[in-house]
A and B are shown apart, each in its own frame.
Chain A
Amino acid sequence: MTALFTATLAQGELPNVMSGVTLYHFLFTSAAMFVIGLIGFLTRRNLIIMFLCTELMFQAAGIALIAFSRFWMNHTGETFVIFVLTVAAAEAAMALALVVLLFRRKETLDSSAWREMKG
C-alpha cells in the first residue's frame, strides 16, 4: 500500500504507474471536457448553467496545462492554473452579480428573454 502511494505521488522520478499513459490521454480528456462545456453553453437556456459551462471549459484548460507542466517536468503550467483559478473566481463574481441583476429585471433566468438584444 505505501509502495503504491509513493509511486503515485513521487516527485522526482517517473512513477511506474505512469507507464501506460501518455500526454495524449490527458489532452483527449481535456478536449472532450472542453467540448462538453461548449455544447452545454450553446444548448442550455438557463443563464446560471451557461456560466457553469464556461467553468467546465476553464477546468478542461487546467487539465491540459497541468499535463503539459508534467510533461516538461517544470512548474510553469501550474502557475498558469493559479491564473485560471483567479480568472474563474473573478468571472464567477461578475457573472453572478449580472445574473442576479438580470433576474431582478425579468423575473426569469431564460436567456431568450433577452432576445431583443440581438438588435
Chain B
Amino acid sequence: MPQVLSPILLYIGCAVGAIGVILSLPRARFSLFPIGSLIAAAGVGVVWIGLGATYPDKIPNYHYYIFSAIALGASLRVITHPRPVYAALYFILTILASAGLYLILSAEFMSFALIIVYAGAILITYIFVIMLATESPSEEQPDVLNEYDRVSREPVMATLAGFILLAALSSMLASGSAGLRFDPAKASGDRGLEVMTKKVERILRDAGQLGNKETILVENGKLAMDVKARTIKIVQPSGEVRTLTSGEWPEALRLSNTEGVAHALIVEHPGSIEIAGVILLLAMLGAVVLARKKVDMDEQAKAQAAAREKSSEAGDELGIEGRYSPPGVGEGGSPS
C-alpha cells in the first residue's frame, strides 16, 4: 500500500516540532516563546510540504491549511501562556478554528453547536472559575505571576513522550490511510429520506414530478426509493406503478446536514440521547453536592492568608485599598 507521507519527513517534522514545543513552554527566567513557536511551526510545515507533495496535481485546500494552522498555533499558546485567562481566550480561538474545519467537512450543524456550546458556555464557565479562584495580588507587586504558572514541570520528558506518541501514531496512520481518499461510492447516502414522506412529497410536487392524485409507493413502512440509484416508485391514480428515473430526480431532494444528524441521532442511535441526559443530570447533582460542601482552610494556607491580610492592612495606612471584607464581620475591615 503506498504511503501518504514518507516516514523520514514525518519523523523530522516531529523532532523539529518537539524542540519548538520544549523551547516555548514557560520557563523560570526568560521566555523563549517567539523562537520556540517558529521552530514548532517549521516542524508542522515540513509535514505539510510532504503532504502537499503527495498529490501535486491537485489544488491544495487552502481553507484546511489556514484553519489548521490557527487551531494548532492557538492550542500551542494555550499550553504556553503563563496567564490562565489568556490561555482560556486562546482556547476559544482554537474552538473557532476547529469550527472552521468542521465547516470544510460539511458538518454545519456541529460547527455551530460547537461555537455555541463550547465557546459560549463551557469556556465562559472556565473564565468565571479563573476569576473566582485567583489569589488577590499583593500590594508590592500587583502584576506578578504565580510561580506555578511561570515554571513548567518536566518540559523535556513530557514533550518527548508526547511527540514519540505523535510520530508513532501518525506514521501508522500514514501507511494505513494511503487509500483513504474521500470516496462518494462509499457513501451511505441520504437514506434518511426514506422515512420523510412529507418532505419528499412536497419537494416532488414543487418540482412538478408528482401529480395531484399520485402517491409514492410504500414498502415495509418506508418509501420505495433507491437513494443511490436515484429512482422513486410512484403509484398513479389508475393503480399502476411508474418509476421516476435519476434524470427526473429534483436537485432539491437531498438531506440537509441538520436533518441528517437528527435522523442519525434519533433513528439510528436513540440510546445515546438518553445516556447523554443521564450523564448531564449526574454531573449537575455532583456539582451541587460539591458546591454545598463547607471546606476549612488547612493550617499552612491559613498562615499565608493571615500574612496577606497583614500586608493589606499596611497598605490601608498608605491610602491603598486593602482586601475586601464584608462590613461588621471581619475584625480586619478597613476603618475608613
Contacts and interface: CB of A to CB of B under 8 A. Distances in A.
Contacts, number: 319
Contacts of B291: 97, 100-101
B19 interface: no
B58 A78 contact: no
27 contacts: A17-B63, A24-B173, A25-B51, A26-B64, A33-B94, A35-B162, A35-B166, A36-B78, A42-B153, A42-B162, A44-B153, A70-B106, A74-B264, A75-B260, A75-B264, A82-B272, A85-B117, A86-B279, A88-B122, A90-B283, A92-B122, A94-B283, A94-B290, A97-B291, A104-B297, A106-B298, A106-B300
B133 A78 contact: no
A79 B273 CA distance: 9
Closest 9 CB pairs of A and B: A40-B79, A73-B187, A90-B283, A75-B264, A42-B158, A20-B58, A110-B148, A97-B290, A103-B133
Interface in B70-122: 71-72, 75-76, 78-79, 84, 87-88, 91, 94-95, 98, 101-110, 113-114, 117-118, 121-122
Q: Give the size range of B's interface with the partner.
A: 35 or more
B233 interface: no
Contacts of B219: none
Interface in A70-116: 70-76, 78-79, 81-83, 85-94, 96-101, 103-112
B305 interface: yes
B30 to A, nearest CB: 17
B280 A89 contact: yes
Nearest to A57: B75
A44 B169 CA distance: 24
Contacts of B141: none
B188 interface: yes
B61 A66 contact: no
Interface in B118-165: 118, 121-122, 125-126, 129-130, 132-135, 146-149, 151-155, 158-159, 161-163, 165
A78 B261 contact: yes
B1 interface: no
